[in-house]
Amino acid sequence: MLINIILIGILIICVITDLRHRKIYNNVLYPGLFIAFLYHFFVSGFVGISFSIAGMLTGLGLLIIPYLLGGMGAGDVKLLAVIGAYKGTMFVLLSSIYMALIGGAIALFILLRKEPLLKSVLYKLLGLRYGLNIPLFIQKDSMKTTYPYGVSIAGGVVMTFLSRGWGLL
């Protein structure tokens, strides 16, 4: 119960800083990681530490390749690792599925919000209806649009809490 409250607090702070400054700060993540290790050590000893380390490595492993390819910030990777340290491997795996769905929906919304792309897709669909092959005009700038992915990560965690019947606490 207490561990969930601390995790939700960390997520709230990270979402706010990610929205305002496009950063997830280490001075929030590292103490949070230390608290997760400490909590699991006191509750379950070395078994708890191994649970926490396995979750952290799973969270880290899920986003390290997108980070290395330049599609993700380091703060996002570390945030998912911290979530894994708090809740373990299975929780972070389920959260990553929800995170990807929420992230994809947000990305689609951002792409469709851009007027030239929306018009181009509409023309393409209308052309297909009447047997015309109208090329899809996508501006290069629209494909470089970024957004704070910490929102998707937090949304994935909240959805995992809700799907497991825990509520938020």
Q: What is the pLDDT of residues 104-129, one digit of tens each?
A: 999 878 777 765 666 777 777 888 87
Predicted pLDDT of residue 97: 97
pLDDT tens column, 142-169: 556 678 999 999 999 999 999 987 755 5
Q: What is the number of alpha carbons within 13 Å of residue 79 lying toward its C-beta?
A: 34
**CB neighbour list of residue 28: distance below 8 Å, 6 or more residues apart:** 10, 13, 14, 17
Name the pTM for this structure: 0.83
Q: Tens digits of per-residue pLDDT, 33-90? A: 999 999 999 999 999 999 999 999 999 999 999 999 988 899 999 999 999 999 999 9
Domain segments of the chain as ranges: 2-105+150-163
